[in-house]
Chain A
C-alpha cells in the first residue's frame, strides 16, 4: 500500500510539471495548428536561463519564474515572428521540419556555449521532503505543483475573462471566422506562441531544483508533451492539465509495478491507444 501511495503522490506532483508543459503546447497547437517540435528545446532555454540567474545573481529558481516567464514570452514571440510566421500556411510537414530545425539550432547552440556538462542546481531544499504517514513528499516538487496550479488558474482566467484571451480562443476555434470578426490573427499567433513558450520554460524553471540541465534535455520532454496534449485533447487547457497529471501517475505507477525500463513504453502505449480510440482526446473538441 505504501508503494502505491508513494508512487501515486510522486506521480501527481510530477504530473503538475507535465501539465504546464502540455498546456503550453496545446495553446500553440490550438491557435496555430503547428506541432512544435522545438517545445522541449524552448524549455531547455528556460532552464539555462534559470541556471544563469541562480548562479550569477543568486536568485532562487522559484522566484526567478517572475523573470523567466516574461523573458521567454518575448523569446517565443520573436521565434514566431521571425520564423514560424512564414510557414503558417505551408504544408504541415514543412512546419514540423522547421520546428525540428529550430530545435536543433537551439540545442546545439546551447552545447557550444555551455558544453554538454550537466548543470545541477542545488538549493537548500533540493532534497528536502515532508513526511506524511509513511509517505515522503518532495518539497521542491510540492512547491512547483502549487505554482503550477496558480499559473494554470491565471491562464484560465486570462483566456475566459479577458478580451485578448477570448480573441485567442476564437482564433483557435476558427481562424478564418476570427479574421472576419476583425481579430488580428497574426498577432494572436505571436501571443499564443509567446505564451506557450513562457509556460514550457517556466515548467523547466520549476523542475530545475530537482533535475539537471544539459543541452539535449528538451527531446524527452517534447515527446511527452505531445502525448499529454493528445491525451487531453489538442487545444484544451483543462485537458492538457488533466492529461499531464494522468501521464505523471501512469509513469510513476508503471515504474513501480512494471519496471523502470518499461514506464516510457506505458506512456507511448497510452498515446497510441488514445489516438486510435478517441483521437480528439479526453476533452478535445477540435478534430484531427
Chain B
C-alpha cells in the first residue's frame, strides 16, 4: 500500500510531466505570437521567482534588490551583443560571471545585517547600482538605454537552427530555462545544501551552533539565486532587445519578483510557478481591456452605461491596484501563498 504522501508526490510528478509535454507541443498548435508572448512572460516570471525563492524562500533572506542581478545580466548581454556582436548564449555566461562578483560584494555588505535591515540594505545597494548605470553614460548609454536587436543565427556546425525571426525559439529557450530553474530548486530542496539553507532560515544561530556555517551558505544561496536571475536578465535583453536602468534595475522589478513568490507560496517548489501563472495573465488581461469587453459580449453589462464606460476607461490602468489588493489579501489571509492555502485545505480534508 503506497502511503498517501508518496502517492501525492508521484501524482504531482506525473502531472508536471504531462504539463511539460503539453507545453512542448503547444507551439505546433497555437500560432498566435501574442499567446506565445504571454507564455514567454510567464516562463520569465517563473525563472525570476524561482531564483529568488532559493535565497528568500529557502534561506529566509528577503532581498528586495534582486533587480541588481537581473539588470547586470541584461546589460552585460546587451552590451556584448551590441558592441562586440557576441551571441547572447555566450554573453549570458559573461553576465553570470559579472553577477557572481556583484553578488559576493553585495553579500559581504548585506549579510552582516538581519531581518528588516537586510531588506533595506538590499534596496539601497540596488538603487546605487541603478543610479550608477544611469550616470555612467559612456559605459551604459545612461537613461537612453541599449537597443540590441541583431541576434546572430544559432548554428550547430553549418546548419542554422534558428534565426530568431519568430517567437518560437524564444518560447523553447524560456521554457527550457524555466524547467532548469525549477529542477535546480528541486535539487536544492532535497540535498544537504537545501537543508542547511532551511536551517538558517528557521534559526540562524541555532544552525550555527550545529556546525552550519551561515556566511558560507548564505553566500552560496545568493550566488545561485543571482546567477539564475541574471540568466533571466540575459534572456530578457535578447528577447525584448532594449534595456534601460528603470526597467531592468528598478525597485518596481525587485518588488514584482518578490510578489511572484509571495502570492504563489514562498519556500515551496510550485509557488513561484503558480505566482507567475496568476500575475502575468492577470496583468495582460486587465491591461488589454478584455474584461469589460467580455462582460459586454456576455450581455452582463451595457458598454455605454456609466459603469461600463468607467470600467472600460479605468480597468486597464488598475492592474497595479489589483496587484496591491491581492498582496494585502494574500498576506492577511493566506500568508503561505496559494500553495500553502491549497495544502492546508487538502490536509484538512484528509484529516477529516
Contact = CB atoms under 8 A, between A and B. Distances in A.
Direct contact of A and B (CB under 8 A): yes
Interface of A: 33, 35, 83, 86-87, 90-94, 96-98, 100-105, 108-109, 111-112, 219, 223, 226-227, 230, 259, 261-262, 264-265, 268-269, 271-272, 275-276, 279, 288
A108 B125 contact: no
B318 A272 contact: no
Contacts of A230: 117, 120
Nearest to B328: A101
A226 B113 CA distance: 15
B327 interface: yes
B324 interface: yes
Output the residue of A92, A97, A276, A288 with the most chain B CB within 10 A: A97
B117 A279 contact: yes
Contacts of A275: 113, 117, 120-121, 124
B168 to A, nearest CB: 35
Contacts of A268: 124-125, 127-128, 131
Interface string B106-118: 0001001111110
Given A35-B119, A261-B131, A288-B114, A272 B327 contact: no
A109 B328 CA distance: 14
B290 interface: no
Contacts of A271: 120-121, 124
Interface in B61-112: 62, 64, 109, 112
Given A35-B116, A93-B62, A104-B324, A112 B124 contact: no
Interface in B307-352: 314, 317-318, 320-321, 323-328, 331-332, 335
A112 B320 contact: no
Contacts of A96: 62, 64, 116, 119
B255 interface: yes
A94 B326 CA distance: 13
B117 to A, nearest CB: 5
A100 B124 contact: no
Interface of A is mostly: helix
A112 B314 contact: yes
A181 B292 CA distance: 56
A279 B113 contact: yes
B121 A108 contact: no
A226 B251 CA distance: 15
B258 interface: yes
A112 B121 CA distance: 32
22 contacts: A83-B332, A93-B56, A96-B64, A97-B262, A98-B331, A104-B320, A108-B320, A108-B324, A112-B314, A223-B127, A227-B124, A261-B131, A261-B134, A261-B135, A262-B131, A265-B131, A265-B135, A268-B124, A272-B124, A272-B125, A279-B117, A288-B117
Contact of B331 (A97, A105, A262, A276): A97
Nearest to A105: B324
Contacts of B321: 104-105, 108-109, 111-112
A108 B327 CA distance: 14
* Interface residue tally on B, bucketed by range: 35 or more
B123 interface: yes
A223 B123 contact: yes
Contacts of A265: 128, 131-132, 135
A102 B124 contact: no
A128 B259 CA distance: 45
A94 B337 CA distance: 11
B122 to A, nearest CB: 10
A105 B328 contact: yes
A87 to B, nearest CB: 7
B328 A102 contact: yes
Interface in B242-260: 251, 255, 258-259
A265 B132 CA distance: 8
Contact of B332 (A35, A87, A91, A261): A87
B56 to A, nearest CB: 8
B131 A264 contact: yes
Contacts of B113: 275, 279, 288
A104 B119 CA distance: 18
Output the residue of B112, B124, B320 with the most chain A CB within 10 A: B124
Nearest to B131: A265
A275 B114 CA distance: 11
Contact of A98 (B132, B251, B314, B327): B327
B277 to A, nearest CB: 20
A263 B115 CA distance: 27
A174 to B, nearest CB: 18
Contacts of A105: 321, 324-325, 328
B132 A112 contact: no
A111 B134 CA distance: 27
B107 to A, nearest CB: 13
B135 A262 contact: yes
Instruction: Give the 3 A-B CB pairs with smallest separation, nearest first.
Output: A104-B324, A101-B327, A108-B321
Contacts of B262: 97
Nearest to A258: B135
Nearest to B251: A219
